[in-house]
Amino acid sequence: MNLIEPNSIIETTHRINDAFHAQSKLSSTDRAAAAKFIAARQGLPGSYADAFAGFDHEVAQIRLYTGERIESASARHILGQECCRALRLLDSPAGKAALERADAGLSAALNRSADNKFGRNAGTFCCGKCTIGMWRNVLAGGFDRREERIAMGLKYLKSRRDTKGGWSRFPFWYTVLALAEIDLPEATSELRYARARIERAAIRDDAKDDYARRRTEVAKRSAARI
């Protein structure tokens, strides 16, 4: 299976996530090739906290797995978190050393954010979109205090409900994507809060691109929880 998009790190992580969600059986050769491709971007100019750098066109903007466009420092940070997650999913020795170095840099950045405006919340990072990027790395096995980070983060997310079935400052589908992986009553509660939008998307059958297809799949997985 070809997991590598030669001119895009973020698209490569999307392919890896697609394979993971489809429960595809990946050969050790495919895993190693993808891990080497990602690992080669660790610590390059443009990387956030010594994590992974995108190609030139990914420095200013990326598209998340669910299609939302993210810009500037948030794009660089989330790309780093998504690369760490992808390497954890690949579980190949080829990416181990680069992942360890990226973990060290991102962990230091996370510790420095302890006094951020979210109020010393170990489950948040800088803003809503970056917080979800961090959660997704945590859910794959990254960082320490994992249970605490997710529990505290969910409490903060609830406080950001916008009364319209979404959350202020949190990208809707990227957030739902993370919630669908969290096996906690609090996560199910947030999915139920967003039920109307999720259920509308779950019955759609007109996906025009990969992003729309993924949102429908995320909606179906989430709807099964509520």
DSSP code string of 43-58: T-TT-STTSB---GGG
CB atoms within 10 A of CB 46: 15
42-69 per-position pLDDT tens digit: 999 999 999 999 999 998 999 999 999 9
DSSP reduced 3-state for 165: coil
d(Cα 24, Cα 35) in Å, to the nearest integer? 16
What pLDDT sits at residue 205?
A: 82
157-207 per-position pLDDT tens digit: 999 999 999 999 999 999 999 999 999 999 999 999 999 999 999 998 887
d(Cα 41, Cα 50) in Å, to the nearest integer? 10
What are the residue boundaries of the structural domains of the chain, listed by start?
Answer: 9-223
What pLDDT sits at residue 211?
A: 96
Q: Phi and psi for 179 in degrees, rounded to 5?
A: -60, -35
What pLDDT sits at residue 207?
A: 75
103-140 per-position pLDDT tens digit: 999 999 988 766 555 456 788 988 999 999 999 999 99
What pLDDT sits at residue 172?
A: 98
